[in-house]
């Protein structure tokens, strides 16, 4: 069955290429049928059993069933590309590409992040200083827009460029064509300590500019901040051989090894998922980092998606709220800070928020073949600036005179002051005018009018701020 495509009305006309996999065609046809059955004017949403977002909502019945869109359709090892459905997890994709000696250019840290989610939202990892964000290695998107049409768009199309950071408010990704890059069997890690945040930031800037450190190549860069006087930059590079390999999928804990080892080796797969076993360090809240508990918990439960389900259950039943004497505010954010303002942000963060550890990950928009760097209008980063993603995920105790949300709002103000950006996967507290100033309201509203004119999907502000 052929799918009739409505072309975006801005950008070059693209010849529609029929997807060869008939199963995908049938899934698209079935989804269009589900959309047509929704009463006119009724809101549209996805029926999803899992999520990596931290905007917890009350359970709702119904929704478009996208469970069939979870397959790697093909891997072209010669062209270094893959055709992937939108609900495919990075765990599934990596398992399909590694046997070909390939991986996505950016593999977000958590196994159950989906490709569609990483494009409509944002993803990042230690290759982002050279490869940018996941959407920058996408060649083509097939999208069901808010008005129920299916379109295929590429880099010259306005919907393609405006889709990142739209969080399912313009449409849903059904299929992607993505670029892949070669891997080697092992990754060598060097954990370089710093007692001073300014010195750490200078080193990050130099390494990301040069792609090397002390004469050795650097393929991956991230960092871990344990305190204002203890921070580490982890520099990693591909290796054909390894004198030993560490295993952080069982009793050993990766982030603790950063303080204890100067050099380490991991298999490529274990490197990609080094943070997932303990959800960075957030598994400590569930007691599974205790040596005795660790030995008793089966490996299959040491996963980020398991921990998130526990958090979701706790949010629904408010058990932690009843047990804690002080009011706890979740502070779960990722923010991008210009590297030359990083030390200033960390000083503020240690003083006013006090969460540790904190994750650092440098990112710069990807350089294209002609040497330029493309802009992405709904998350307007300066193409010439190296940013550092700062990730922190915990709770803070509020003083009696503080309102819930006050610490998050403090962070949002500081990020804006420093010329940074905040990811929208968690709770946000912006006023509407400030929100649209930060996330290019005019461009978003133009796309919304053309691809969801009846407002069947929520708008970005309503979804990311009002529906807390």
Which residue would you say has higher pLDDT here, 67 or 324?
67
What integer is the mean pLDDT of 372-396? 93
Buried b (16+ CB within 10 A) or exposed e, 198-233: eebbbbbbebbeeeebeeeebbbbbbbbbebeebbb
Ranges of each domain in the chain: 22-183+441-466, 186-433
pLDDT-based confidence at residue 51 (cuts at 50, 70, 90): low
Q: Alpha carbon 115 to chain centroid distance? A: 9
Measured CA to CA, the distance from residue 329 to residue 251 in angstroms comes to 31
Distance (Å, whole) CA 213 – CA 449: 49
How distant is the alpha carbon of residue 194 from its chain centre? 27
The predicted pLDDT at position 371 comes to 77
Q: Is the dihedral of CA 258, 351, 208, 196 positive or negative?
A: negative
The whole-number pLDDT of residue 327 equals 84
CATH number of 22-183+441-466, picked from 3.40.470.10, 3.40.50.1370, 3.40.190.10, 3.30.465.10: 3.30.465.10
Using pLDDT thresholds of 50, 70 and 90, give the confidence band for residue 381.
very high
Hey, what are 245's tokens? 């390999």
CATH number of 186-433: 3.40.462
Q: What would the pLDDT profile of 72-121 be if each residue is shown by its tens digit?
A: 999 999 999 999 999 999 999 999 999 999 999 999 999 999 999 999 99
18 or 254, which is more confident? 254
pLDDT in tens, 177-209: 999 999 999 999 999 999 999 999 999 999 999
The 10s digit of each residue's pLDDT in 351-360 is: 999 999 999 9
* Tally of CB atoms within 10 A around 50: 13
Q: Do domains 22-183+441-466 and 186-433 have the same CATH topology?
A: no
pLDDT tens digits along 256-312: 999 999 999 999 999 999 999 999 999 999 999 999 999 999 999 999 999 999 988
Average pLDDT of the segment spanning 222-244: 98
Residue 28 CA, distance from chain mean position = 25
Number of CB atoms found within 10 A of residue 74's CB: 14
State the first-to-last Cα distance of the chain, in angstroms, to the nearest integer: 41
Contacts of 296 (CB under 8 A, 6+ apart): none
Over pLDDT 90: what percentage of the chain? 81
pLDDT of residue 254: 98
In 339-397 the beta strands, taken as DSSP E runs, fall at 358-363, 387-397
Model pLDDT, residue 11: 43
- Tokens of residue 232, six digits: 């580490």
Q: Tell me what pLDDT residue 56 has.
A: 54
Residue 362: what pLDDT?
98
Percent of the chain clearing pLDDT 70 (strictly above)? 91
Q: What is the mean pLDDT of the chain?
A: 91
């Amino acid at each position: 069955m052929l799918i009739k495509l409505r072309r975006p009305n801005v950008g070059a006309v693209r010849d529609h290429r029929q997807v060869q996999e008939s199963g995908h065609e049938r899934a698209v046809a079935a989804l269009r049928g589900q959309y047509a059955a929704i009463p006119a004017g009724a809101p549209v949403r996805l029926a999803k059993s899992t999520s990596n977002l931290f905007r917890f909502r009350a359970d709702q019945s119904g929704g478009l069933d996208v469970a069939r869109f979870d397959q790697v359709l093909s891997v072209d090892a010669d062209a270094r590309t893959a055709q992937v459905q939108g609900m495919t997890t990075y765990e599934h994709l990596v398992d399909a590409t590694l046997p070909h000696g390939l991986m996505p250019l950016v593999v977000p840290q958590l196994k159950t992040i989906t490709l569609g989610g990483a494009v409509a939202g944002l993803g990042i990892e230690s290759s982002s200083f050279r490869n940018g964000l996941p959407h920058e290695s996408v060649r083509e998107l097939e999208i069901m827009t808010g008005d129920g049409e299916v379109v295929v768009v590429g880099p010259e199309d306005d919907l393609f460029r405006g889709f990142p950071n739209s969080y399912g408010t313009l449409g849903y990704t059904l299929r992607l064509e993505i670029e892949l890059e070669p891997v080697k069997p092992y990754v060598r890690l060097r954990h370089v300590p710093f007692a001073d945040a300014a010195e750490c930031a200078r080193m990050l800037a130099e390494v990301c500019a040069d792609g090397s450190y002390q004469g050795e190549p650097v393929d991956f860069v991230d960092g871990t901040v344990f305190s204002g006087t203890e921070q580490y930059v982890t520099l990693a590079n591909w290796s054909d051989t390894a004198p030993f390999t560490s295993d952080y999928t069982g009793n050993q804990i990766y982030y603790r090894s950063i303080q204890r080892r100067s050099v380490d080796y991991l298999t490529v797969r274990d490197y990609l998922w080094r943070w997932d076993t303990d959800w960075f360090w957030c598994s400590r809240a569930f007691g599974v980092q205790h040596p005795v508990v660790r030995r008793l918990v089966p490996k299959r439960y040491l996963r980020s998606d398991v921990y998130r389900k526990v958090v979701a259950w706790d949010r629904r039943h408010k058990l932690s709220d009843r047990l804690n004497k002080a009011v706890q505010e979740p502070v779960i954010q990722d923010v991008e800070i210009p590297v030359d303002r990083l030390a200033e942000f960390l000083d503020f963060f240690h003083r006013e928020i006090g969460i540790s550890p904190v994750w650092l990950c440098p990112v710069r928009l990807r350089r294209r073949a002609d040497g330029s760097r493309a802009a992405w209008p709904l998350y307007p980063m300066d193409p010439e600036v190296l940013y550092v993603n700062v990730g922190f995920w915990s709770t803070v105790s509020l003083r009696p005179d503080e309102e819930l949300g006050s610490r998050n709002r403090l962070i949002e103000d500081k990020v804006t002051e420093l010329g940074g950006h905040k990811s929208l996967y968690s709770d946000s507290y912006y006023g509407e005018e400030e929100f649209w100033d930060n996330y290019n309201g005019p461009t978003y509203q133009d796309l919304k009018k053309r691809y969801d004119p009846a407002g069947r999907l929520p708008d970005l502000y309503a979804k990311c701020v009002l529906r807390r």
